[in-house]
């Protein structure tokens, strides 16, 4: 521990510790969310003598980045660091503490039991396999679809684990009983509350959050992409042509065989770098903005609109999303 203390920056103090605790408690943080936290820290540190209160609006981006850098340095001895990525829909930069060495999903064990963790893995499997195909890259699912995954996993569900671990995992999973419907619903809600999943307002579909994409990036690629795939071959986890981050919400090339994907938040800047020419950066086909990745791959279909009209304003049949995703 003394060695760890010696490795910290000389200016690392109780204010830095308070900031790091706030970041760990929240799971993710944006600059805007940090402002009242840092304002309180500055007031406690500098306002005691003067009696002056620091207002959140006085906290600058430079202040925030300084505390983030110090937190990341303090965590490095524990194989953790602070990383950031832009939220796929809001464009806001999100910061999270990321495990740099071990399986990122293991940290769920501190809050969830083996049954719940196995269920979460099945949900993520469904996002990136069952509901992610060359025809329709949805990578999210609704409550009904998630609930269907509550049953005890079969031994064959261990295909995404290292071979050396398969026998042990299959034995453990064989003993799992699965979850009740109410338990599965509670786990999905907790995944949202803990910042791992997000649930959309319009379609009520669950997808991975910015925190999960940061934390699970390497695991997702290892689990769902084929390392032996030929160049240009379709992969389950794809990256934005502009920012190189994972795309689970955005647009795709109109050519189904082309692997080009772009976040909506990256489009304008990307086209400007290309002189305003809206062509696929891989195959040069016209980019029409009508082919989607994520929830809109379902909700922008005519079948979805018809289903909404049939079931009344704002409603939908209970299995409509499932039908559209599985449509041949």
pLDDT tens column, 201-240? 888 999 999 999 998 999 999 999 999 999 889 999 999 9
**Between the ranges 44-53, 85-94, 316-325, where is the mean pLDDT highest?**
85-94
Least trusted range by pLDDT, from 49-58, 148-157, 209-218, 250-259: 148-157
Phi, psi of 113 (to 5 degrees): -85, 175
Residue closest to 211 by CA, chosen among 194, 236, 188 = 194
pLDDT tens column, 3-29? 555 556 667 999 999 999 999 999 899
End-to-end CA distance of the chain: 59
Phi, psi of 229 (to 5 degrees): -65, 145
Distance of CA 323 to the CA centre of its chain: 25
Q: How far apart are CA 242 and CA 232, in angstroms?
A: 17
Domain with residues 2-106, CATH architecture: Alpha-Beta Complex (3.90)
Q: Which helix H or strand E contains 97, and what residues bound it?
A: strand 93-99
Range(s) within the chain of domains with CATH label 3.90.1150.220: 2-106
């Amino acid at each position: 521990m003394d060695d760890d203390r010696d490795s910290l920056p000389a200016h690392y103090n109780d204010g830095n510790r308070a900031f790091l605790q706030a970041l760990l408690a929240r799971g993710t943080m944006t600059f805007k969310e940090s402002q009242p936290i840092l304002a309180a820290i500055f007031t406690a540190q500098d306002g005691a003598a003067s009696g002056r209160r620091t207002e959140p609006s006085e906290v600058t981006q430079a202040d925030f980045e300084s505390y983030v850098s110090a937190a990341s340095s303090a965590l490095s001895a524990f194989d953790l660091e602070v990383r950031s990525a832009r939220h796929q829909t809001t464009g806001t930069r999100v910061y999270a503490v990321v495990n740099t060495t071990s399986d990122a999903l293991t940290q769920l064990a501190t809050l969830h039991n083996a049954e719940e963790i196995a269920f979460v893995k099945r949900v993520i499997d469904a996002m990136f396999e069952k509901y992610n195909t060359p025809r329709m890259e949805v990578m999210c699912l609704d409550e009904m679809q998630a609930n269907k995954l509550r049953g005890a996993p079969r031994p064959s569900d261990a295909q995404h684990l290292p071979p050396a671990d398969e026998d042990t995992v299959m034995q453990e999973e064989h003993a799992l009983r699965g979850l009740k419907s109410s338990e599965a619903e509670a786990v999905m809600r907790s995944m949202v509350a803990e910042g791992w999943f997000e649930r959309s307002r319009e379609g009520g579909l669950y997808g991975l959050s910015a925190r999960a994409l940061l934390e699970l990036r390497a695991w997702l690629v290892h689990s769902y992409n084929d390392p032996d795939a030929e160049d240009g071959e379709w992969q389950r986890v794809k990256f934005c042509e502009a920012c190189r981050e994972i795309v689970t919400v955005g647009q795709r090339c109109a050519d189904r065989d082309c692997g080009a994907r772009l976040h909506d938040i990256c489009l304008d800047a990307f086209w400007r770098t290309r002189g305003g020419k809206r062509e696929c950066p891989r195959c040069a086909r016209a980019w029409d903005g009508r082919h989607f990745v994520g929830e809109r791959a379902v909700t922008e279909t005519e079948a979805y609109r018809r289903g909404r009209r049939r079931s009344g304003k704002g409603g939908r049949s209970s299995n409509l999303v499932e039908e559209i995703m599985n449509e041949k």
